[in-house]
Amino acid sequence: MDRPTYEPLAEIEVDAVRPEAQGFTLTGQGPDHTEYQLDLRFEMPLDPRTRAVLGELLSHSDLIISRRAAGGVMRALRQRRNRAPQR
């Protein structure tokens, strides 16, 4: 089975990491000088040490945001339809 193709939309160098109640807000600038923000939320509480370590790791990261290539959804639906039993 072919893996879906993804197209990168933005490559962002993280400039700041702000702790929030359920996670972090990361902000940064892309090569097009546009400001980006990513809210990262966890469904579980983070103890102070884990929060500090995650914040430090995230502050030294880059983000690549991608999406499935145009036509990828239609191709996947067509493949699924072709695998379905014929009546």
**DSSP character for 7?**
E
- The H or E element that residue 19 is part of is strand 6-20
Per the DSSP assignment, residues forming a β-bridge with 10 are 65
Domain coordinates in residue numbering, the chain: 7-83
Check pLDDT > 60 for residue 1. no
* Residues in contact with 37: Cβ distance below 8 Å, sequence separation at least 6, in sequence order: 25, 26, 27
Please tell me whether the overall predicted TM-score, pTM, comes out greater than 0.75 for this model. no
pLDDT higher than threshold 60 for residue 39: yes
Q: Give the pLDDT confidence of 47-69 residue by residue, as tens digits.
A: 999 999 999 999 999 999 998 87
pLDDT, residue 68, reads 84
Is pLDDT of 87 > 60?
no
